[in-house]
Amino acid sequence: MYFWQGFFLYMAPGGLLLAAALAFLQHEGLSRWLFGITWLFPPALGIVAAFLGWRFNRSRLLFGTLVLLLADLLLRRYGGVAQIDQLLARYVFHLTLLAVPFNLFLFSFWRERGIVTGQGLRRFCFILFQPLLLAGLYGVRGPLIVRQLEAMVVPLPLLGPLSSPALVVSVLAGLGLLFRFRRNRELLDHGFFWAMVCSLLALSVGNPARQPFLFSVAALILIVAAIEAAHRMAFRDELTGLPARRALNESMLKLGNTYTVAMVDIDFFKKFNDRYGHDVGDQVLAMVAGLLGRVGGGGRPFRYGGEEFTILFPGKVLKEAQPHLEKLRQEVAAAGFKVRSAGRSGKKQSNRQKDGDCGKKVSLTISIGMAQADNTRKTPSAVIKAADKALYRAKNAGRNQVSA
């Protein structure tokens, strides 16, 4: 349930951007103003996508934006209902319905290989070759293709009539993007999904004036997803998924006068790493981080460094935060850790996990030190130092305990 809430609301604002765009279109005065400046959006979005794609090594962002803007250009030039050659308009419309979801799904599998590289240039050629291929097919089998696609039209709510092949491609691409995002948590895959939905709506709204605006929104969704991904790289720890040290420093600047800081350390983690290997050690860190993410009392966990974590309790004093930390300590001890894989092959045989250890549940505990802001500790750094001293007291007293 948490995954789906995050997918629609928190992880990246693709769905919210699409909802806002549809809400704007319901307002007659606002939509008329938007349509008046829509011609500015494609070049502006193209420049932004090119800059971000180059600067942050996000070639998939540029390629996805290029496909969306190219589809909009072809539809406006050849696929409009006002065109004299209605057969060409219908041909471009149906083939665009097939091409856009297919391309966005394909881009989700492409690894970042740069833009001005051999791989990047080949991908540019692949994208630009598609309109040429469609033009060639139109000259040879255009009427036949249109008749066959329109013979398989399925009426759908919101989207209107779609050909069965376009519906199948869109559904498979959407499910594929959902699966990839759930497995990899790549925010650009999240953006590809919502950009695909937005582009389908652009092709199905029945109002040609809305089409360029919605295609621009689809490109904007990709750009925002790339920015969110860059932000996550800077402020979130890749291994554990928790906010990183930089995010902690910024959060501490926003604290009021009342708050509690807890420093959390995994007991005997170095020995654990030496015996089972760093790969298994990483699994331990990820598991503990998952438990820290569910801490109650409004606690906000961060990866501090190594095997240490920090939990902030804004607006809470020690006695209010301590029960939640005690519960966390008990949950980690009760969970333990089941060794799932062998140690890294690069480790010495004497330090690698033994064959009999695989699948064995081993003991895992944490020690916690906590401190609150008061007249003697007025700055966040002073509170963290006090919590760190309390953590060492917990370790010296035997570990697996909370010290205030």
Instruction: Check whether residue 214 and residue 313 sit in a common domain.
Output: no
CB neighbour list of residue 351: distance below 8 Å, 6 or more residues apart: 274, 275, 277, 343
Instruction: Check whether residue 108 and residue 163 sit in a common domain.
Output: yes
Instruction: Check whether residue 381 and residue 355 sit in a common domain.
Output: yes
Which pLDDT score, from 0 to 100, does residue 85 have? Answer: 65
pLDDT in tens, 247-257: 888 888 888 88
Q: Of the residues 250, 307, 320, 326, which is catalytic?
A: 307
Instruction: Check whether residue 249 and residue 231 sit in a common domain.
Output: no
| pLDDT (average), residues 397-404 | 88
Which pLDDT score, from 0 to 100, does residue 65 have? Answer: 94
Q: At which of 209, 235, 261 does a domain end?
A: 235
Domain count, the chain: 2
Instruction: Give domain status of residue 240, yes or no.
Output: no
Higher-confidence position of 302 and 352: 302
Domain that holds residue 298: 245-403
Instruction: Give domain status of residue 21, yes or no.
Output: yes
Per the CB < 8 A criterion, the answer to whether 261 and 316 are in contact is no
How far apart, in whole angstroms, are the C-alpha atoms of residue 307 and residue 287?
Answer: 12
Which pLDDT score, from 0 to 100, does residue 357 have? Answer: 58
Higher-confidence position of 158 and 189: 189
Instruction: Check whether residue 386 and residue 294 sit in a common domain.
Output: yes
Instruction: Give domain status of residue 349, yes or no.
Output: yes
Q: Is 307 a catalytic residue?
A: yes
What is the maximum alpha-carbon separation in the chain?
A: 86
Instruction: Indicate whether 269 pLDDT > 90.
Output: no
- pTM, whole model, 2 decimals? 0.75
Instruction: Check whether residue 399 and residue 270 sit in a common domain.
Output: yes
The burial of 238, by beta-carbon neighbours within 10 Å (0-12 exposed, 13-18 middle, 19 or more buried), is given as exposed
| pLDDT (average), residues 172-201 | 88
